[in-house]
Amino acid sequence: MTSHQASFCPYCGQRTIQESDSSFPYCGKCSRYIFPDGADAPSVPATTPESQQLVGIRGWLILVAIGIVLNPILLLFTIISNLSASSEYAWVIDLYPTLGTLNTVDTFGSIILLTLSGILLFAFFGKRRSAPRLFIWINVVSIGIQIITVMVGTSLWTELPELAMEFIPSTVGSIIASVVWIVYFNISKRVKATFVH
**Model confidence over 155-166: pLDDT tens digits?**
766 666 777 677
Q: Please state, rounded to an integer, the average pLDDT across all residues of the chain.
A: 80
pTM, full prediction: 0.68
Under a CB-based contact definition with an 8 Å cutoff, are residues 126 and 81 in contact?
A: no
* Distance in angstroms (rounded) separating the CA atoms of residues 89 and 93: 7
**Residue 31's pLDDT is what?**
61
Map 90-140 to HEC letters.
HHHHHHCHHHHHHHHHHHHHHHHHHHHHHHHHHHHHCCCCHHHHHHHHHHH
Share of the chain above pLDDT 90, in %: 44
Confidence of residue 90 (pLDDT cuts 50, 70, 90): confident
Q: Burial of 48 by CB count in 10 Å (0-12 exposed, 13-18 middle, 19+ buried)?
A: exposed
CB atoms within 10 A of CB 174: 16
Q: Tell me what pLDDT residue 181 has.
A: 95
Residue 43 has pLDDT above 90, yes or no: no
Q: Cα angle vertex 157, ends 154, 163, to 5°?
A: 100
Could you report the per-residue pLDDT of 53-80, keeping only the tens digit for each? Answer: 778 898 899 999 999 999 999 999 999 9
Percent of the chain with pLDDT over 70: 70
CA–CA distance, 140 with 135 (Å, rounded to integer)? 9
Residue 110, pLDDT above cutoff 90:
yes
Q: Are 135 and 120 spatial neighbours (Cβ–Cβ below 8 Å)?
A: yes
On the question of pLDDT at 114 being above 90, the answer is yes
Q: Of 22, 51, 46, 54, which Cα lies nearest the Cα of 35?
A: 22
pLDDT in tens, 165-189: 777 788 888 899 999 999 999 999 9
- Residue 132, pLDDT > 80, answer yes
